[in-house]
Copies of this chain bind each other. A is one copy, B any other.
Amino acid sequence: MPDGALELSEKAGKMGKDGMNIALLGLGTVGGGVYKVLKRQAPEMMQKLNTELHLKKVLVRNPKRHEMDVDDPSILTCNFEEIVDDPEIEIVVEVMGGIEPAYTYIRDALKAGKSVVTANKDLIADRGGELLEIAEENNVELRFEASVAGGIPIISPLKNSLAANEISEIMGIVNGTTNFILSKMSDEGMDYADALAEATSLGYAEADPTADVEGHDAARKVAIMATIAFHTRVTFRDVYTEGITKISQKDIRYANALGWKIKLIGLAQNTDEGVEVRVHPMLIPLNHPLATVSGSYNAVYVMGDAVGDVMFYGYGAGEMPTASAVCGDVFSVARHTVIHAQGSTRDNVYRKIPIKRIDNICSSYYLRMEVEDKPGVLATIASIFGNNSVSIEQVIQKDKVNDLAELVIVTSKVRERHIRDAMLILNSSSVVKNIASVIRVYSE
């Protein structure tokens, strides 16, 4: 070996032709998927990336328990120091989930000069800004494509292909569990409880389904997308959230009869009055592309001033789709490292747009209520709406239960606070026995 060659090969051992080292934090569902994808892709990595990726360490709580999950059990460790202190590890992939210890691990990895790829929506929606700053200070990358809509490319298109657009709106179905439940209720006439039970038994819903069914999971994804699209910081706490637990089979049937589907929609709009970010059930017309997104599929609609509307559709969760997004990010980091070009993921938050209060949003509303079944009731209700600046667009009177009539009213587009005022008065009116549901209706 000629002089200098050894030095060169040692350097190459760290980066370049001889490969780069990765560590994986977590070997659960997504971690297992990442392990599989890296293994499948190994034969072509050199051609795809101009380098090879070696999985050097996998952090798990109990290495013994995972010995059968990897080809070489010596890569398993329960000690994060073995990763953060190893100068040969250049990319850390965090797929543990949760805020701690994920936050501390990611922060320390970034500070140690390692790029980080994460699928952690809780963390990015809450503390993404801080972490991106730390990444920038240390001239490394922090990528999180998998944190929104699983395998569907959405973060990268927003940051790159669509970067020359002023984005005005993002609207999406970004939680597969609730979409599965609503699809079952709509297509098979199931009750909410039965549909949830099926989602749980299929592994789509977790033992505690709160984060999914109350819309928190979707809200985190909306916060992440709004931050990137509008260049202003939006966190989970800014997002108004309503879940699907109150949706009844009756509402589903009325919706179908009226030509609508009920979907849990995540919405982010950049309006003159501020950023509107909300997650709630919504009645979507059947001819809207989001109405046809069923089962555990996700889809995200983006409106830009140049591109018009574009939609991204696919699997929003699951072992392999999520691993696809994680490994796509890992490949990007590897390519950038090979050409010495880290730092391209900097935080593009340069505006400070206020968050619009939910009282101020404008929407059309569907209300289902039980009212007294006697003449003059509709006139009373209509005048309550009218007195509160709410116009009625459609009225349906159907089932009679005992001496009560069921009334469905669809309003024109009005301010939320007017609807709330009207509902207060309706609730105290003697002719209205119960307002059973209030669901927002899609309008352009």
Q: Which residues of A contact B (CB under 8 A)?
A: 33, 37-38, 40-41, 44, 47-48, 145, 151-153, 156-157, 160-166, 231, 289, 292, 304-315, 318, 320-321, 323-325, 327-332, 335-336, 339-344, 348, 350
Contacts and interface: CB of A to CB of B under 8 A. Distances in A.
Contacts of A157: 153, 156-157, 161
A350 B47 contact: yes
Nearest to A145: B161
A163 to B, nearest CB: 5
B153 A153 contact: yes
A309 B314 contact: yes
Given A157-B157, A339-B344, A163 B40 contact: no
Q: Which 6 A-B pairs have the closest CB atoms?
A: A341-B341, A164-B327, A153-B161, A310-B314, A306-B324, A307-B324
Contacts of A342: 339
A331 B344 CA distance: 12
A305 B163 contact: no
Contacts of A37: 164, 306
A267 B289 CA distance: 22
Given A161-B145, A343-B339, A306 B320 contact: yes
Contacts of A48: 163, 231, 348
Contact of A341 (B44, B311, B340, B348): B340
Contacts of A311: 311-314
Nearest to A153: B161
* Identical copies of this chain, number: 2
B162 A153 contact: yes
B304 A324 contact: yes
Contacts of A336: 341, 344
Contacts of A161: 145, 153, 156-157, 324-325, 328-329
Contacts of A152: 307, 310
A44 B351 CA distance: 10
Contacts of A314: 307-311
Given A163-B331, A166-B40, A292-B289, A310 B151 contact: yes
Contacts of A305: 40, 320
B151 A306 contact: yes
Contact of A289 (B153, B166, B313): B313
Given A289-B292, A339-B343, A321 B348 contact: no
Given A151-B308, A289-B313, A313-B310, A324 B47 contact: no
A163 B306 CA distance: 27
Contacts of A166: 40-41
A307 B312 contact: no
A147 to B, nearest CB: 13
Contacts of A340: 340-341
A348 B162 contact: no
A307 B329 CA distance: 13
Contacts of A341: 336, 339-341, 344
Contacts of A164: 37-38, 41, 323-324, 327-328, 330-331
Nearest to A310: B314
A5 B191 CA distance: 72
A256 B309 CA distance: 28
A153 B153 CA distance: 9
Nearest to A315: B308
Contact of A313 (B156, B304, B313, B331): B313
17 contacts: A44-B231, A47-B348, A47-B350, A151-B310, A152-B307, A157-B157, A163-B327, A163-B328, A164-B323, A307-B314, A307-B321, A308-B318, A308-B320, A308-B321, A310-B313, A340-B340, A340-B341
